[in-house]
């Protein structure tokens, strides 16, 4: 047996004169005895108990924390639960995840709970901290790997001159200013910090806006698909490319301080490492992606091999001096983003990395942050570093703001972009840890930098949320509705949203029964929506211009080919413009609304998130499209035009493309949405095989009627009746009811009438409906995006196989109902004119 002693550098010699630790240690194995005398140099040897690996139980009066594994489990639980609690508490304040996790790490460190020796000895004894550190380093390694997988270098190719100049100016101007301040303070700095390579490290690190950090925070704020968010991502990708080269040069200079030949070896290591990744690993992974069947995930063996390869590349990076995280990061670059490889890796590993390993990474950071050490060294030693950091933030803010003003960005957008560019997080913290390893700074300087990074990010993030509203451009003043489309503008511009292949048939048949003709053609902007997985940047593909860029998403071809075949059968009655949006689910509505705004669409058509299919047995089965409900709700709230939500039950699909007689019903409950629904149904009534029944619901003795809404309803109904008076396939009825119960009874009696087998129900969503007609029904509704009546007639309780179309008329900025010019509208009041003018000034 040989006993090993952990070695610690002594504050003073052992006995003042001896150069050796006088010890007599004997090791005996079998019959052989070996003496070790005077073998240790003059250092203090601290002996401590190793943690036991067995299992202990409180039931036997033993301390279970004696087991290293039990202690590790407790540390896992403490760190994850604490960061989760802080996340919940800080989320209403618009704080990013990084801030809560850094605070959680500091909370358990020597600055707060760690000040208690009892807490430290129980939870984080000296012989267990290295476990936390190693798990934390593994967490950072895999986080950098995922960041590399998601990064889309094609953004560099797509950048225009404006983005390129803003990126160069946003990096070079702050770098120059920071360098000037840093070199002017060299005399008051520590020896290591005052070195030229160290100052270059710090200046470049503080000047760079790093893509992984900005992407993570913008994703939390749901700004990835916004105009300013896309600009910030493009600038940060270019800045990363510039900064990466600068950091390699300063790293080489730092390694060559003691030995100039080390510079050459470092640069050779970088070149060989990059060449191996590009020419060997990259080509192998492309081959794996090519051999994977379309629409299928990559084989599990490849995923496991790649995740193990992260550790191998991190090890090789550390051996060659490139650092562990850079090795993993560059491996992530080599993986083709998006499906099938990149998306599969992200789907199967992101949760474990972000939710399990990364809290340990920030715990490692927190255990190194010591506010007491910062206060003990005094302000004089920290003031140069503080001045450099403050200068960096001010220079970055002003540099981005000046550049934005030069390129004529609105002031509010310029300020928002400036705050985005000063966001810092995980990457900068890893850089700080690297600087500590290089002896550029000690614990006090590291503590101050971590606190400053966390503070500025905590301030900037909510300011970005306050300053920038991504939905602001969608609320316009100009009417884009079917009702208010002038007669001379015959074409109807429609954005057709497609979530999956199952929704295509219903949407195409809705277009068919909407009666496109040569005199009233349709301009269709079909938008296939794909959830963004395995890549960081949202992509909008215009298939008429960028056909070669969507080869990874083969399903896009299938979907758009089906619509194209329909367009070819209709000839000049339908013009098609196919698009595909690859965006996060939370921001899909922004791309939908943006396309509708840019293309000046009149109508947005959305599939409902539930699909009720008529089975062979006559029963309805319900399927759910996950994630679609929130998208539809956001589109209804922010759309710059009218919206139709189709609840497809498959019945119309069997009839629309044939000459079979179709019977549609319009439930007219009054209000702007009902007026829009009636105008849409009027277009359908022009089709030769469509019979239309319009049922108008009125309250008994006009109870609860809004006088203005009533006049507008009367005007639209009168116009509709006069236009279709001689059309024998159009029927108009009025029903008087006293409450919601009678409204539902009247609708149910229509459904039960065997003479009228309706194929499609058309109803306004909710805007402007007399509340008396719906009294007592508000608690019944489950799907608010359909309105109360739309939800009822689309439910399984209604026992009807007919599909349902719920229509919402465009809501103007500052208004909740229609009151603008058009064929049937009255003139806006002077008060409304003043309100609209003030709103336009404010925005």
Going by C-alpha positions, the residue among 42, 7, 51, 1 that lies closest to residue 23 is 42
Lowest mean pLDDT among 246-250, 393-397, 725-729: 246-250
- Residue 50's pLDDT band, with cuts at 50, 70 and 90, is low
Give the C-alpha separation, 358 to 272, whole Å.
Answer: 30
pLDDT higher than threshold 50 for residue 414: yes
Question: In this predicted structure, what is the pLDDT of residue 579?
Answer: 92
Question: In this predicted structure, what is the pLDDT of residue 636?
Answer: 92
614-625: pLDDT as tens digits: 444 455 555 666
pLDDT higher than threshold 50 for residue 16: no
Question: In this predicted structure, what is the pLDDT of residue 121?
Answer: 85
**C-alpha triplet 274, 539, 340: angle, nearest 5°:** 60
Higher pLDDT, 157 or 86: 86
Q: What is the mean pLDDT of residues 368-373?
A: 89
208-226: pLDDT as tens digits: 888 889 989 999 998 888 8
Beta bridge partners of 607: 646
Other beta carbons within 10 angstroms of residue 435's beta carbon come to 22
Mean predicted lDDT score pLDDT of the chain: 81
Instruction: Tell me the two tokens of residue 220.
Output: 């939390």
Question: In this predicted structure, what is the pLDDT of residue 58?
Answer: 58
Question: In this predicted structure, what is the pLDDT of residue 144?
Answer: 92
pLDDT higher than threshold 80 for residue 180: yes
Dihedral angle of Cα 460, 461, 466, 468, to the nearest 10 degrees: 100
Question: In this predicted structure, what is the pLDDT of residue 237?
Answer: 85
Question: In this predicted structure, what is the pLDDT of residue 654?
Answer: 52
481-507: pLDDT as tens digits: 998 886 656 789 999 999 888 888 889
Lowest mean pLDDT among 164-178, 405-419, 682-696, 743-757: 743-757
Other beta carbons within 10 angstroms of residue 259's beta carbon come to 10
pLDDT higher than threshold 60 for residue 821: no
Q: What is the mean pLDDT of residues 807-823?
A: 60
Question: In this predicted structure, what is the pLDDT of residue 676?
Answer: 94
Residue 495 gets the label, from left (phi > 0), alpha (psi -120 to 50) or beta, of beta
pLDDT higher than threshold 50 for residue 839: no
Say if residues 663 and 620 touch (Cβ distance below 8 Å): no
Judged by DSSP in three states, 696 sits in strand
Instruction: Tell me the two tokens of residue 509.
Output: 């048949």
Lowest mean pLDDT among 28-37, 313-322, 596-605, 683-692: 28-37
Question: In this predicted structure, what is the pLDDT of residue 651?
Answer: 57
Going by C-alpha positions, the residue among 525, 530, 516 that lies closest to residue 495 is 525
Give the C-alpha separation, 498 to 90, whole Å.
Answer: 36
Going by C-alpha positions, the residue among 593, 565, 587, 569 that lies closest to residue 578 is 565
What single-letter DSSP state applies at residue 293? P
Higher pLDDT, 430 or 622: 430
Contacts for 316 with CB less than 8 Å, ≥ 6 apart: 273, 327
pLDDT higher than threshold 50 for residue 5: no
Lowest mean pLDDT among 165-174, 494-503, 544-553, 729-738: 544-553
Higher pLDDT, 468 or 157: 468
260-290: pLDDT as tens digits: 777 888 888 888 988 999 899 999 998 998 8
């Amino acid at each position: 047996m040989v006993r090993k002693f952990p070695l610690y550098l002594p504050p003073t010699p052992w006995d003042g004169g001896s150069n050796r630790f006088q010890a007599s240690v004997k090791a005996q194995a079998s019959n052989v005895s070996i003496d070790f005398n005077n073998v240790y140099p003059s250092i203090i040897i601290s002996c401590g108990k190793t943690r036991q690996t067995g299992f202990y139980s409180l039931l036997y009066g033993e301390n279970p924390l004696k087991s290293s594994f039990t202690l590790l489990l407790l540390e896992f639980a403490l760190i994850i639960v604490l960061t989760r609690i802080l996340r919940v508490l800080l989320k209403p304040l618009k704080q990013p995840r990084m801030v809560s996790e850094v605070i959680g790490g500091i909370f358990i460190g020597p600055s707060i709970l760690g000040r208690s020796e009892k807490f430290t000895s129980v939870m984080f004894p000296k012989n267990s901290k290295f476990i936390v550190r190693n798990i934390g380093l593994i967490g950072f390694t895999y986080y950098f790997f995922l960041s590399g997988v998601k990064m889309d270098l094609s953004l560099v190719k797509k950048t225009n001159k404006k983005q390129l100049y803003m990126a160069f100016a946003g990096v070079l101007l702050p770098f120059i200013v920071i360098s000037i301040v840093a070199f002017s303070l060299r005399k008051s700095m520590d020896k290591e910090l005052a070195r030229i390579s160290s100052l270059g490290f710090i200046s470049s690190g503080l000047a760079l806006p790093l893509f992984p950090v900005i992407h993570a925070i913008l994703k939390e704020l749901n700004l990835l698909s916004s105009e300013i968010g896309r600009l910030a991502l493009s600038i940060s990708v270019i800045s990363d490319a510039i900064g990466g080269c600068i950091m390699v040069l300063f790293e080489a200079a730092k390694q060559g301080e003691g030995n100039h030949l080390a510079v050459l070896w470092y640069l050779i290591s970088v070149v060989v490492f990059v060449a191996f990744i590009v020419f060997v690993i990259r080509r192998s992974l492309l081959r794996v992606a090519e051999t994977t069947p379309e629409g299928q995930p990559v084989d599990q063996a490849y995923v496991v091999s790649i995740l193990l390869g992260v550790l191998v590349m991190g090890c090789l990076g550390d051996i060659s001096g490139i650092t562990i995280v850079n090795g993993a990061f560059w491996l992530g670059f080599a993986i083709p983003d998006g499906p099938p490889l990149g998306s599969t890796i992200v789907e199967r590993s992101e949760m474990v990395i972000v939710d399990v390993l990364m809290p340990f990474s920030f715990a490692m950071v927190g255990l190194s942050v010591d506010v007491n050490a910062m206060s003990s060294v005094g302000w004089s030693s920290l003031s140069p570093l503080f001045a450099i950091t403050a200068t960096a933030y001010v220079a970055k803010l002003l540099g981005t703001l000046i550049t934005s003003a030069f390129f004529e960005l609105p002031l509010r957008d310029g300020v928002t972009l400036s705050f985005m560019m000063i966001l810092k997080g995980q990457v900068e913290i890893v850089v700080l840890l690297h600087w500590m390893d290089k002896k550029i700074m000690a614990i006090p300087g590291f503590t101050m930098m971590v606190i400053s990074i966390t503070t500025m990010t905590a301030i900037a993030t909510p300011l970005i949320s306050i300053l920038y509203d991504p939905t602001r451009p969608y609320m316009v003043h100009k009417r884009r509705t079917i009702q208010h489309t002038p007669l001379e503008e015959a074409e109807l511009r429609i954005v057709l949203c497609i979530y999956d292949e199952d929704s295509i048939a219903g949407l195409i048949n809705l277009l068919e029964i909407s009666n496109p003709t040569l005199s009233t053609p349709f301009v269709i902007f079909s938008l296939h929506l794909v959830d963004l997985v395995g890549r960081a940047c949202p992509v909008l593909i215009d298939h008429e211009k960028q056909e070669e860029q969507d080869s990874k998403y083969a399903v896009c071809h299938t979907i758009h080919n089906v619509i194209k075949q329909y367009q070819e059968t209709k000839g000049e009655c339908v013009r098609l413009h196919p698009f595909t949006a690859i965006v996060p689910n939370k921001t899909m509505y922004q791309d939908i609304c943006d396309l509708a705004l840019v293309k000046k669409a009149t109508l947005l058509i959305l599939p409902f998130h539930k699909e009720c299919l008529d089975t062979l047995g006559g029963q309805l089965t319900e399927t759910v499209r996950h994630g679609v409900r929130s998208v539809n709700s956001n589109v209804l709230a922010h759309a710059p035009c009218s919206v139709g939500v189709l609840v497809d039950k498959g019945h119309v699909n069997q009839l629309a493309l044939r000459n079979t007689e179709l019977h549609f019903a319009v439930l007219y409950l009054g209000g702007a949405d009902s007026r829009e629904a009636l105008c849409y149904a009027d277009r359908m009534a022009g089709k030769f095989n469509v019979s239309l029944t319009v049922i108008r619901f009125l309250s008994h003795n006009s109870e609860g009627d809004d006088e203005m809404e009533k006049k507008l309803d009367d005007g639209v109904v009168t116009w509709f009746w006069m236009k279709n008076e001689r059309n024998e396939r159009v029927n108009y009825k009025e029903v008087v009811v006293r409450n919601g119960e009678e409204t539902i009874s009247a609708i149910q009696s229509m459904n039960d009438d065997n003479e009228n087998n309706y194929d499609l129900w058309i109803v306004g969503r909710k805007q402007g409906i007399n509340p008396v007609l719906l009294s007592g029904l508000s608690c019944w509704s489950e799907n608010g995006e359909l309105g109360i009546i739309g939800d009822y007639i689309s439910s399984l309780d209604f026992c009807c196989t007919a599909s349902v179309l719920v229509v919402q008329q465009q809501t103007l900025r500052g208004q909740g109902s229609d009151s603008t010019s058009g064929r049937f509208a009255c003139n806006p009041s002077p008060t409304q004119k003043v309100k609209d003018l003030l709103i336009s000034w404010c925005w």
